Structure 1
Amino acid sequence: MAEFTTGEAVALELPIARIPSRAGAFLLDLLIQLTLAATLIFLATALLTAFDADEAWWAVAGIVTLVTVLVAYPVCSETLSRGRSIGKLAFGLRVVRSDAGPIDFRHALTRGLTGAIVDFWMLGAFGAVAVITSLCSREGRRVGDVLAGTVVVHTRQNLPVPALVMAPPWLSAWSAQLDTSVLSDELAGSVRQYLTRLRTLSPAAQQHLGSQLVVAVCAAMRCQVPTGYPPYHVLGAVLARRQQLARV
């Protein structure tokens, strides 16, 4: 099990997928990829032979087939299914972000390209790099997971829905005008971590760290710092607004 801090500053524990289950999912996906490659090769051969294509067209067909099988298949399947290729679906695995949220095209593309180049094929020694890096990672991450900021978890049920963050009523009007999309993932992550650890901090640490985060957050959003409120009220209102915009 590993603990994740969601975008709403809620701690979740999810089981990490290890090498045996990931290897099974990989082999099933590989079988599908080989079938896809054989189909594309058959179609390309029939089409190019019928039109008596020259060597350049054969080279193009080979590159398109290679990219489709090694990159397009994992990227499209994980994007459309929000983190589950056919192999992962069969073995109850899901790719999630480091905050336990669903992945998008950017994450899937990073994982797909890294998998084709580093983890498995071109430089990966048929998966040796992926296995070694997964064994060295506490969360079982391969290189693609590290670069994409993702983790593969083992679950046959939907991810738990965290409780919604509610802005304090006295800051609702202020937070409604904020554009939290300009906040970097690193800064938002620091705010989540602060709110998650709030009860473990001393009052002095709560005030000191919270004030620094409030200043940094308001500077990033180019808005005035609201005065007269504890830092965790302001930061909670910011996260509530960020969650609201993410759900639109």
Structure 2
Amino acid sequence: MFTVRVRAQPPAPARSADRWADAGLVSGEAVELDVRAARLGSRVLALLIDLLVQVVLAAALSAGLSLLLLFLPTAIVDAALTGALQTVLLVLVLVGYPVLMERFVGGRTIGKLAVGLRVVRADGGPVGVGQSLTRALVGVAVEWPGLVLPLLSWVASVTVMLTDPRGRRLGDLVAGTMVVHTRGAAVWRPVPLAVPALLGWAHTLDLTRLDDGLALAARQYLGRVHQLVEPERARLGRELWAEVGAVITPPPPWAAPESVYLAAVLAERHRRAVDRLRRTRGVAAMLWPELTTSPVAAPPPAAPPPAATAPAATAPAATAPAATAPATTAPAATAPALAVPTQPDPVRAQPAPVDAEHPAG
């Protein structure tokens, strides 16, 4: 089994904004969680999506409210009732929407779901109803739409988000919450292919002693080499190549980085596996063609014709009119031919006993 020994990485950069796990969340086992805090750009994008949803929701509720007022008696419909219903509608859209969504969708609204954000407590736990309500009320009052000094509150909110290490807004500071990313920002990178100069050497390799565990370790190293830091990246590459080079022959023709050797070995191993699979499928296609053909293109073969011994079995029946044999004797004459269709000799020998029992004159 391949064992990887990894030392602690060098200290993280001084600025927390340059780190991946900049949310500062720590689990109960005192392990820092690899989570990013949401910044101004992603949160504004989520807010714009939520605003579009709220506009559609407000239009639908307004249509329903208009229908309700039409069916109410004219005596009770006045400006006070209309204003009260409009206020309730506004509260439902601006406060009820985020609170209910964060309560039942795990701290996410539709905009946060689209962008990949989630509201959590400052310690990383799930957000509660009281905290969601506090965030919504503070947001409506001093952030968006900002009922108290709109322009000044907008500037203050943006300033707080830009200066806070976790990108929190005023509602987060009051409620004790924060917004984090739920999706990783790592870029998928394929395994490097073999360089053309090593293809000839790779074709001559003996890979019989390269087991799956060691090949998987090399594959994972090449897939994550861009995430490692020096000098650990070079040291781990040297250790992996030392183990791989000890089980393959011949040695490489010229000096190159260890990752180049590993990529050439894995590419050749993959090529040989594809060739073996192609040959196996070719043999299976010859032995069992139905596996590689469609039932519509290749219908099943027709049923075989009746047994070839049927005419021989009916030969004695041709003499039945001349012999004036009773009708009950015909099945007895043909029964042996049906019971033993693959033995023609006893069938041919049966006309003599039939003629003996019923002489012709």
- Following superposition, the deviation at residue 96 of structure 1 comes to 1.0
Query: Aligned pair 1:30/2:51, yes or no?
Result: yes
Gap runs ≥5 in structure 1 = 158-248
Amino acid at match of 2:176: G
Gap runs ≥5 in structure 2 = 1-21, 185-361
Contact 1:120 1:129 in 2 (8 A): no
Match of 1:137 among 156, 159, 164: 164
Give the TM-score normalised by the residue count of structure 2: 0.41
Match of 1:86 among 110, 118, 133: 110
Equivalent residue number for residue 69 of structure 2 = 48
- Structure number with higher strand proportion: 1
Indicate the structure (1 or 2) with the bigger Cα radius of gyration: 2
What's the secondary structure of 1:113's corresponding residue? helix
- Give the direction of change, closer, same or farther, for the CA distance of 1:70–1:94 in structure 2 (3 Å limit): same
Amino acid at match of 2:142: V
What's the secondary structure of 2:34's corresponding residue? strand
Equivalent residue number for residue 137 of structure 2 = 113
Count of equivalent residues: 157
Deviations 1:40-69 (A, max 9, x none): 111112211332311121011111011001
Amino acid at match of 1:15: R
Equivalent residue number for residue 196 of structure 2 = none
Contact 1:141 1:152 in 2 (8 A): yes
Contact 1:48 1:57 in 2 (8 A): no
Contact 1:2 1:16 in 2 (8 A): yes
CA distance in 2 between partners of 1:8 and 1:55 (Å): 59
CA distance in 2 between partners of 1:6 and 1:149 (Å): 17
CA distance in 2 between partners of 1:4 and 1:154 (Å): 12
Query: Aligned pair 1:156/2:183, yes or no?
Result: yes
Equivalent residue number for residue 21 of structure 1 = 42
Contact 1:119 1:127 in 2 (8 A): yes
Higher relative contact order (CA 8 A, sep 6+): 1
Equivalent residue number for residue 122 of structure 2 = 98
Mapping 1:131-210, distance limit 5 Å? 131-156=158-183
Match of 1:4 among 18, 21, 25: 25
Equivalent residue number for residue 198 of structure 2 = none
Deviations 1:134-180 (A, max 9, x none): 012111110100011111111227xxxxxxxxxxxxxxxxxxxxxxx
What's the secondary structure of 1:2's corresponding residue? coil
Contact 1:5 1:11 in 2 (8 A): yes
CA distance in 2 between partners of 1:127 and 1:43 (Å): 32
- Give the direction of change, closer, same or farther, for the CA distance of 1:127–1:77 in structure 2 (3 Å limit): farther
Q: CA RMSD in A?
A: 1.7
What's the secondary structure of 1:152's corresponding residue? strand
Query: Aligned pair 1:39/2:32, yes or no?
Result: no
What's the secondary structure of 1:12's corresponding residue? coil
Deviations 1:189-225 (A, max 9, x none): xxxxxxxxxxxxxxxxxxxxxxxxxxxxxxxxxxxxx
What's the secondary structure of 1:13's corresponding residue? coil
Residue identity over aligned pairs, in percent, reads 45
CA distance in 2 between partners of 1:115 and 1:7 (Å): 31
Equivalent residue number for residue 91 of structure 2 = 67
CA distance in 2 between partners of 1:93 and 1:127 (Å): 22
CA distance in 2 between partners of 1:149 and 1:7 (Å): 18
Contact 1:120 1:128 in 2 (8 A): no
Deviations 1:18-41 (A, max 9, x none): 111111100000001011111111
* Greater mean alpha carbon deviation, residues 123-132 or residues 98-107: 123-132
- Following superposition, the deviation at residue 5 of structure 1 comes to 2.4
Contact 2:107 2:119 in 1 (8 A): yes
- Give the direction of change, closer, same or farther, for the CA distance of 1:8–1:71 in structure 2 (3 Å limit): farther
Equivalent residue number for residue 240 of structure 1 = none
Contact 1:7 1:99 in 2 (8 A): no
